[in-house]
Amino acid sequence: MNYILMGPPGAGKGTQAKKIVDKFGIVHLSTGDMFREDTKSNEVISKLVASGQLISDEIVVNMVKNRLLQEDAKKGFLLDGFPRTLVQAQALDVILEAENIKIDAVFFIDLEYKEVIKRTSGRRVCSCGASYNVFFIPPKEDNKCDFCKKELIQRDDDKEEVVKNRLTIYETQTKPLIEYYRQKGALVKIDGLKSEFEVFNQISENIK
């Protein structure tokens, strides 16, 4: 049981990934987590991360390869955040072929950009931990937390300009992968407009 999870920012990949690995007992291979772990041990990566530079395909591919070949991944894995570019996807194919590992499906959570922007740029958080969305779950009072009445904050990552930049990168680098996996017959398109529960059901139906 080996899978890849893809989708634009704000499509709920993180939440779905957790649900999938919990239900099916496979390993969550998240490049985000790997970066956080590697930053402690790997000097090259920590320098790049600290300077805000993009990490090269070569470094990412090697990191994923090392993680993929660890013993626990043999029971099955879900790749999340990788591959992000066509070069990474082709490198992954070489690794998988050499190790005789097969990908059963590539889940693509499809969500139009208009919705992505609403979900992310509408997000507001409170220092008490409460979170809101001005479009979907607005606070009772404008920009004030329902619980502690503090002023709500918009995280830098959620600012519309930042989200639009991420979507541009996604459109040019990651979107071509959808066609790549479609041609391989591995792509399973998931309707990301549905509720969290229904999205999970759509994915689960394809894991057997």
**Which of 93/146 has CB closer to Zn ion?**
146
3-state DSSP percent of the chain in helix, strand and coil, to 5:
50, 15, 30
| Distance of alpha carbon 176 from alpha carbon 138, whole angstroms | 35
- Per-residue binding letters, 145-184, with Zn ion (x by CB under 5 A): x-xx-x----------------------------------
**Which of 151/198 has CB closer to Zn ion?**
151
Q: Is 13 a catalytic residue?
A: yes
Per rule CB under 5 A, count of chain residues that contact Zn ion: 7
Q: Near Zn ion by CB under 5 A, which window of 13-21, 25-33, 125-133, 173-181?
A: 125-133
Q: Kindly identify the residues of this chain, within the stretch 74-103, that bind Zn ion according to CB under 5 A.
A: none
Q: Binding of Zn ion at residue 128 (CB under 5 A)? A: yes
* Element (DSSP H or E) covering residue 2: strand 2-6
Candidate residues 26, 126, 177, 199; the one interacting with Zn ion per rule CB under 5 A: 126
Closest CA to 31 of 75, 66, 72, 2: 66
CB contact at 8 A, 32 and 45: no
Q: Binding of Zn ion at residue 193 (CB under 5 A)? A: no
Give burial (CB, 10 Å; 0-12/13-18/19+) of 81: buried
As measured in angstroms, the least distance from the Cβ of 196 to Zn ion is 23
Q: Binding of Zn ion at residue 130 (CB under 5 A)? A: yes
Cα angle, residue 167 at apex, residues 162 and 170 outer, rounded to 5°: 130
Footprint on this chain of Zn ion (rule: CB under 5 A): 126, 128, 130, 145, 147-148, 150
